[in-house]
Amino acid sequence: MVKAPRQRPSELIREAQLTRSKVMVVEGHDDKRFFEEWLQTVLPTGRVTIVPVDFVDVDPQEVIRRGLNEGCRSSVIVLAHLAQAHVAEILCVADRDTGAHCDEFAVASLRFTDFPALESYCLDQVTLNTVRNVALREKIPPVADFMPGLEFALRELFAVRCMHPNLPKPNYAKGISKQGTGLMGFDVAAAMEPGMSALCASYERTTSTDSRSYAYGHDISELLFAQYKNQLKNGCGIARPEALEAVFRIAMLATKSFEEEPFFKSIIEWYKTPREGAR
């Protein structure tokens, strides 16, 4: 099967203009599947075409020219600015991550998640209970037992990520305490590369009481998998952190507790409100 060539940004914009269709550009294919599943339940009579940004040939030099690092998030930001300039019904959505560039590149055609990533929204009581009690069949401790340690570890990792936006993947298992305290004794310095370890203690930790605000996407599933690997593999058939992350997304779609957050409300508002000047 021959893979279709990627569209140039100008082609995607022109297509949206000619067809007067609503187009959402997202960072990845998992995002595409999530938004398609969600939107068909809240917009049953409407249609939004959702496009992963790697289907669009965003010029890497344009990304660099704007002072961004190469990657899907940066490509989404660049495409949003091109769509804004051409008054097309295109909405680009990207992860907030640590908040870098969110204010600098804010335009009407771009939305950032309220929290670091889509997965951050799963850290509410209803969704976590659904994951633990139903999907994981109570094979890991109750939410009230593991949540304090998870929050501690997420806060520690987020402090480092804020200082190192391009942080290599941490060694999550190495950071977990061998003294039996689990995630509550998570040693972020031990999870980092040797050259970074000495700096970790000096980084400022957030004082936010909302764990979603410092829950960096992949860290949630990676930490839980590192802590409860045997239970997840042997008791639930979950062999990789990526599979656990998929479970969280499915639970989010089941509980829909995220729908009241500003980011998701703004997507519905975008769909219902024609953009001024769009043609």
Instruction: List per-residue pLDDT tens for the chain, 279 residues long.
Output: 445 578 999 999 999 989 888 999 999 999 999 999 999 999 877 789 999 999 999 999 999 999 999 999 999 999 999 999 987 799 999 999 999 999 999 999 999 999 999 999 999 999 999 999 999 999 999 999 999 999 999 999 999 999 998 899 999 999 997 777 899 999 999 999 988 888 999 999 999 999 999 999 899 999 999 999 999 999 999 999 999 999 999 999 999 999 999 999 999 999 988 766 554
Q: CA-CA distance, 43 to 192, in Å (whole number)? A: 44
In this structure, the answer to whether residues 90 and 209 fall within a common structural domain is no
Q: Is residue 228 in a domain?
A: yes
In this structure, the answer to whether residues 124 and 250 fall within a common structural domain is yes
pLDDT of residue 211: 98
Q: For 75, what's the count of Cα atoms within 13 Å in the CB-facing half-sphere?
A: 19
Q: CA-CA distance, 171 to 274, in Å (whole number)? A: 46
3-state SS class at 101: coil
In this structure, the answer to whether residues 74 and 15 fall within a common structural domain is yes
In this structure, the answer to whether residues 99 and 128 fall within a common structural domain is no
Residue 97's region, left for phi above 0, alpha for psi from -120 to 50, else beta, is: left
Q: Is residue 81 in a domain?
A: yes
pTM above the 0.85 mark? yes
In this structure, the answer to whether residues 60 and 99 fall within a common structural domain is yes
Q: Is residue 278 in a domain?
A: no
- The boundaries of the domain holding residue 219 are 119-257
In this structure, the answer to whether residues 98 and 227 fall within a common structural domain is no
Tokens 């998640």 found at? 113
Q: Is residue 47 in a domain?
A: yes
CATH number of the domain that residue 18 is part of? 3.40.50
Q: Is residue 277 in a domain?
A: no
Q: Which residues contact 4 (CB under 8 A, 6 or more apart)?
A: none
In this structure, the answer to whether residues 77 and 181 fall within a common structural domain is no
Question: How many structural domains comprise the chain?
Answer: 2
Q: For residue 187, with 0-12 CB atoms within 10 Å meaning exposed, 13-18 middle and 19 or more buried, which class applies? A: middle
pLDDT of residue 263: 98
In this structure, the answer to whether residues 215 and 96 fall within a common structural domain is no
DSSP string, 139-206: -S--HHHHHHHHHHHHHHHHHHHHH-TTPPPP-HHHHS-TTS-GGGG--HHHHS-HHHHTTGGGSPPP
The secondary element (H helix, E strand) that includes residue 50 is: strand 48-52
pLDDT of residue 209: 96
In this structure, the answer to whether residues 93 and 142 fall within a common structural domain is no
Rg of the chain (C-alpha set): 20
Q: Is residue 1 in a domain?
A: no
In this structure, the answer to whether residues 56 and 105 fall within a common structural domain is yes
pLDDT of residue 44: 72
Q: Is residue 59 in a domain?
A: yes
Q: Is residue 2 in a domain?
A: no
In this structure, the answer to whether residues 70 and 106 fall within a common structural domain is yes
In this structure, the answer to whether residues 88 and 183 fall within a common structural domain is no
Answer yes or no: are the C-beta atoms of 182 and 176 closer than 8 Å. Answer: yes
